[in-house]
Amino acid sequence: MQAAVFDISGPVLLTPIRHRDVRGFFSETYNERDLRPFLGDTRFVQDNHLFSVKAGTIRALHFQVPPKTQGKLIRVTRGSVFEVAVDLRRGSPSYGKHVSTVLTADNWQQLWVPPGFAHGLCTLEPDTEVIYKVTDFYSPEHERGIRWNDQALAIAWPAVAATPTVLDKDKALPLLADLPAYFPAG
C-alpha cells in the first residue's frame, strides 16, 4: 500500500498494490493491518455502492454530526470522479479549506476522508461506480451538508460540473458561513 498525505491534516490518498498476471490482477483493497499506520484503529461498519448514470453528477458535500460521525474510505470501480473533502473542524488552521483528487478505476487510488470533513464528488464519466466504507451507520437525523458550489470554499470543480445533475435538497444546503460548529478542532 502506498500513501500520500495532503497539505491539510487528516485525508490520505492510498494506492493499493495490484498483482497482475495473465488472468488479470489481484488486489487487497482493504487490509486493516496495512492501513493502521494511516487510519489508526479505524473500524468500518458498512460498505456503500453508488452508481451515477451521467457525467457531471454532483453528490454534494455531506457529513454526519456527532455522535454519529463517519469516516469514509472511497474508491472507484468503474469510471472516474473528482473527489473533495472540506475541513469542518472549527478552530483548525485549515477550517473551510479542502483537498481534491481524481479517483479512477484505472489509477486504483482510494481517498480516506476522516470524521470532521464534508465529502463530495462529481462524476467525470457516464456510468461511474463508487464503493466506499464508512465508520458508522447511516443516520438520517445526523446527516448534514454544505452547498457544493459555495464560493467561500473556492473549489475548482471540473468543467463537466458547469451543467450538473444535482438534487434539489443538495442545492438548498447551507453555506459554510451558516454552519454551526459541529466539529471542534483538537
Active site positions, annotated: 62, 132
Q: Determine which helix (DSSP H) or strand (DSSP E) holds 184, and give its type and residue range.
A: strand 183-184
Q: How far apart are CA 11 and CA 73, in angstroms?
A: 10
The H or E element that residue 38 is part of is: helix 32-39
Q: Rounded to an integer, what distance in angstroms lies between the CA atom of residue 124 and that of residue 183?
A: 31
**Residue 70 has what DSSP assignment?**
-
For 176, phi then psi, to 5°, come to: -55, -40
